[in-house]
Amino acid sequence: MPRLTGRLVVASHNAGKVREIAALLGPLGITPVSAGELGLPEPEETEATFIGNAALKARAAALASGLPALSDDSGLEVFAIGGDPGVYSARWAGPNKDFGAAMQSVWEKLSAAGDDRSARFVCALALAQPDGSVETFEGEARGTIVWPPRGEKGFGYDPIFEPLGLDRTFGEMTHEEKLPRTHRARAFEKLVASLK
């Protein structure tokens, strides 16, 4: 595994995700630059798994930029509705990224499915080199779905996800409180361990 130093492309156009990844990369002395800043296109996510989509995005960014690239594919899996929205988490929000509507849809389907409110956020990280090689890492954060949504912080489905053992949603936590508890932080722990 090549050591990571200098610049790294974060293969995402999602500002919230880029901010979280940049914060996790900071202690490693890596300077992240987003795919959006470099004007790289967003490849279509055609894989059926988080790992598959993360690898596809990282490889495309590394090949286009000539730099190592890190991609994250993540989403919410609600067990009582068959793991939906899963890899389609962003698509449930539609072209206008209306996560209010997406959360409403999750709640309606969940309410019709019974009393189980358990869910998890999943994060798959893929680190690609310009030669096309890719390594992947996965993390999760387990919790429950709550209604109505609570909190204005975070992004995506954060206002309806209450992590296990806590009585606040990710949407009610500051960035600093939320980050160490996330699926993304758990995947990063595995990536960092691989660099040592």
Q: Terminus-to-terminus CA distance in the chain, angstroms? A: 10
Residue 115: predicted pLDDT: 94
Residue 23: predicted pLDDT: 83
User: How far apart, in whole angstroms, are the C-alpha atoms of residue 70 and residue 190?
Assistant: 14
Identify the segments of the chain with pLDDT beneath 50: 1-2
This prediction's pTM: 0.87
SS3 86: helix
Residue 183: predicted pLDDT: 94
In terms of Cβ atoms closer than 10 Å to its own Cβ (0-12, 13-18, 19+), residue 13 is: middle
Q: Residue ranges of the domains in the chain?
A: 6-195
Residue 14: predicted pLDDT: 79
Residue 48: predicted pLDDT: 94
Tell me if 157 sits within 8 A of 92, measured CB to CB: no
Residue 1: predicted pLDDT: 41
Residue 144: predicted pLDDT: 98
Architecture of domain 6-195: Alpha-Beta Complex (3.90)
Q: Report how many helices (DSSP H) and strands (DSSP E) the chain contains, helices first.
A: 5, 7
DSSP string of 21-65, one letter each residue: HHHHHGGGTEEEEETTTTT--------SSHHHHHHHHHHHHHHHH
DSSP string of 104-152, one letter each residue: HHHHHHHHHH-S--EEEEEEEEEEE-TTS-EEEEEEEEEEEE-SS---S
User: How far apart, in whole angstroms, are the C-alpha atoms of residue 123 and residue 137?
Assistant: 8
Catalytic residues: 73
